[in-house]
Structure 1
């Protein structure tokens, strides 16, 4: 999409006709931009994904208060937990759990 530099309206495209090259023109003012026959292709640039930082680290969770919650992975009966407000204020808090079984250590959450 191209916009008119004088009035900022969306430019319309007109196909080549009777020896005249293709052009963009403004429907409200006399601005016209003729297109060249050769089109320059811009180089594509790869997007680099940022590393996602966890909301709560495993160490923060394991050092937190404990509760009797059953791990969905190993059925161990104790887990450390932490609560955070991840949504709007009128929504309930999200509870993050970490299994205290040394061989498991799974993390899960309840919204």
Structure 2
């Protein structure tokens, strides 16, 4: 945690205070005589905001106009699945095939 001097706006550093009680600390400025005694524990927690992850597959709309093929679902053993091919790696490697079970109760997704 960084605190800044209210008079000169430099960063305050923590130092042990020898004049008051042993073991007490204070914030002090290196350039001006500003001193702030610490009476209690000072702490704050700031949690970073997680950035929104874009759906690479295009979300639910990506599966609207896809074809189905004879492929067995590993979850429910349904014999048909929708499929789409997407280039996920470099151009010299084969495309990745994504499948989605045609069974509306299952809708399991996997890739090959």
Q: TM class, shorter-chain normalised?
A: 0.5 to 0.7
Q: Work out the CA distance in 2 between the residues paired with 1:59 and 1:72.
A: 23
Q: Work out the CA distance in 2 between the residues paired with 1:59 and 1:75.
A: 25
User: Structure 1 regions of 5+ residues with no counterpart?
Assistant: 1-40
Q: Do the aligned residues in 2 keep the contact of 1:71 with 1:79 (CA within 8 Å)?
A: yes
Q: Deviation of residue 57 (structure 1)?
A: 2.1
User: Structure 2 regions of 5+ residues with no counterpart?
Assistant: 1-42
Q: Work out the CA distance in 1 between the residues paired with 2:60 and 2:82.
A: 10
* TM-score when normalising by structure 2: 0.53
Aligned to 1:108: 110
Q: How does 1:23-102 map to 2 (within 5 A)?
A: 44-54=45-55, 55-86=57-88, 88-90=89-91, 91-102=93-104
User: Over residues 45-68 of structure 1, what are the superposed CA-to-partner deviations in whole Å (9 max), with x where a residue is unaligned?
Assistant: 311112322223234225301111
Q: Work out the CA distance in 1 between the residues paired with 2:68 and 2:104.
A: 14
What is the root-mean-square deviation of aligned Cα atoms in Å?
Answer: 4.3
* TM-score when normalising by structure 1: 0.53
Q: Do the aligned residues in 2 keep the contact of 1:62 with 1:80 (CA within 8 Å)?
A: no
